Amino acid sequence: MTLLSKIRVGLLSTLILSTTFTALPAQAEPTPPAPTPSIRAGDLIAFDTDGKLWDYRPSGETTWSRHQIGSGWNVMRDLKTVDWNQDYIEDIIAVGKNGDLHLYLGKREGGFIRTTIGTGWGSYDISVGQWKVSDEYPSIIAVNLDTEILYNYPNLSGGALSPRVIEGRGWSRSLQHQLLDYDFDGKADILAQQSATGKLLRYRTDGNGNFINEPRPVVGTGWSVMNEVAAYSGYQGDGLICNCPTQITHPGLLARTHDGILYYYGLWDGKWSTPDRIGTGWNGYTFAGSESPRRFSY
């Protein structure tokens, strides 16, 4: 090695030995913003005759706060709120007056993404919820009012509907149905309101999409005074948004009288609680049903 080479090696060694390497401090992962969806579980959703969509959020034992979350909704004739894709953000299923079936997927930051998932639904009366215990996602129970056939439209992906399955016949226009778990056994029931008699009949299932062969018990009378009834879970805010699938809530029914008074009838272990009078002046509103049993633990 030449003298010049030795000098270069010596300088390089001195530089390496005299250099101190300091690790940069670890950067904390940024905390994601809290979700601010337009709808929380337990909110009451309704649109008025002007097409304004309103969110009524429980803010106490007997008070509600109202926020407009949409416009142009008077082109719809029916809507349900549900966590359709099980992401803990509430969505909307809506039937248009033109017969189109729409899915409004809720966004974490508020607002919705709309997709048309069906056509030809003009003659159908729908409920939305978990039909089978094994279902990963809620699905649609629908009656064709022309043929009186009851169908289940499975939702196998949290998006589009799968081919329908016949579940029953003889479901005439005089039977208005609501899907909910009447007795907290984790299995879907249908409550059918007989318009002629005002009776509520209970149709139990075995949890696998089959009706139990038994007489249909009467679980309510005097319902002919109501001109609109819808299943409703999470009343008074016991369904607040969070990543907690074991959260507890109770099902019940919203019911509006012919003179526009809106009541809530809660269910507790198969018994009706004393109805709460929500308010008056509701005849100009179409309100959403809400029943998502998979989200909650009984």
Tens-place pLDDT, residues 12-33: 444 444 445 455 666 667 777 7
* Rounded distance between C-alpha atoms, residue 198 and residue 173, angstroms: 14
The region of weakest confidence among 20-24, 25-29, 206-210, 211-215 is: 20-24
| CA dist., res. 204 & res. 227, Å (int) | 24
Render 85-108 in DSSP notation, one character per residue: TSSSS-EEEEEETTS-EEEEEEPT
Backbone angles phi, psi at 110, to 5 degrees: 105, 155
Q: How far apart are CA 154 and CA 144, in angstroms?
A: 16
289-290 and 76-82 as β-strands: parallel, antiparallel, unpaired?
Answer: parallel
Measured distance CA(201)–CA(221) in Å, rounded: 9
| Rounded average pLDDT over 60-72 | 83
Out of 57-71, 97-111, 274-288, pick the least confident. 57-71
What percent of the chain shows pLDDT beyond 90?
Answer: 64
pLDDT in tens, 140-193: 999 999 999 999 999 999 999 999 999 999 998 888 899 988 888 889 999 999
Give the separation between CA 52 and CA 30, rounded to whole angstroms.
Answer: 37
DSSP 27: P
Closest CA to 66 of 254, 293, 267, 278: 278
Average pLDDT, the chain: 85
pLDDT computed for residue 233 by the predictor: 82
Res 57: pLDDT: 86
Q: Which residue has the higher pLDDT, 209 or 293?
A: 209
Looking at the chain, the whole-number percentage of residues with pLDDT higher than 70 is 82
Residue 2 is predicted with a pLDDT of: 52
Residues in the chain: 298
290 vs 143: which has the higher pLDDT: 143
Name the burial class of residue 197, with classes exposed (0-12), middle (13-18) and buried (19+) by CB atoms within 10 angstroms of its CB: middle
Q: What is the model's pLDDT at position 247? A: 47
Whole-prediction pTM: 0.84
CA dihedral sign of residues 145, 149, 153, 154: positive
